[in-house]
Amino acid sequence: MRPFAIAAVAALLVACDITNPAPALDLDDLPATVILGLGDQRVVGSSTVRFSAVREDSRCPVDATCIWAGNARIEVTISPLAGDGPAQVVTLNSFLEPKVALAQGLRLSLVGLSPDPRVGRPTAGYRAELRVEIAAE
């Protein structure tokens, strides 16, 4: 019975780690870098930052030779936690402009997007690395 109890507790701990959201970031914690999976969100100050979509990924595959680096274009949705106006959707690029966007008093930039594309394989499991700062006034 004891091995079963240990396995059950371990399973619960793993499940808790998967379902617990990342801790909120206070404005005092900024600037900070956050990593979000596609569809994931993080509370930053009085806003929620969500990695909404990958609209383009023409980055050069790691197993190919290209004449230019290509570009990844993602959408990030910044929503107020309570009643401070509508959500704002911003576009960030890895190579082209805009690389920086301002929304809800935050300055966001795309540091990186993973995984890197490969020839002949669809890219899945996107994770965006975002730099979040307080927007200069």
Residue 5 lies in a domain: no
Residue 33 lies in a domain: yes
Residue 17 lies in a domain: no
Q: Tell me, what's the pLDDT at 111? A: 96
What is the domain extent for residue 94? Answer: 23-134
What value, to the nearest 5°, has the Cα angle with vertex 134 and ends 59 and 34?
Answer: 45
| Rounded Cα gap, residues 7 and 117, in angstroms | 37
What value, to the nearest 5°, has the Cα angle with vertex 111 and ends 107 and 115?
Answer: 140
Q: Tell me, what's the pLDDT at 20? A: 58
Residue 28 lies in a domain: yes
CATH number of the domain to which 126 belongs = 2.60.98
Residue 125 lies in a domain: yes
Output the CA–CA distances (angstroms, integers) from residue 50 to 44, 73, 76, 99, 127, in the order listed: 10, 15, 6, 17, 11
pTM listed for this prediction: 0.81
Residue 56 lies in a domain: yes
| pLDDT exceeds 80 at position 69 | yes
Cβ–Cβ under 8 Å, residues 69 and 59:
yes
| pLDDT exceeds 60 at position 18 | no
Nearest to residue 99, comparing CAs of 80, 112, 115? 112
Q: Tell me, what's the pLDDT at 137? A: 64
Residue 4 lies in a domain: no
Residue 12 lies in a domain: no
Enumerate residues 6+ apart whose C-beta is below 8 A from 118: 61, 62, 63
**How does residue 7 score in pLDDT terms, banded at 50, 70 and 90?**
very low
Number of domains the chain contains = 1
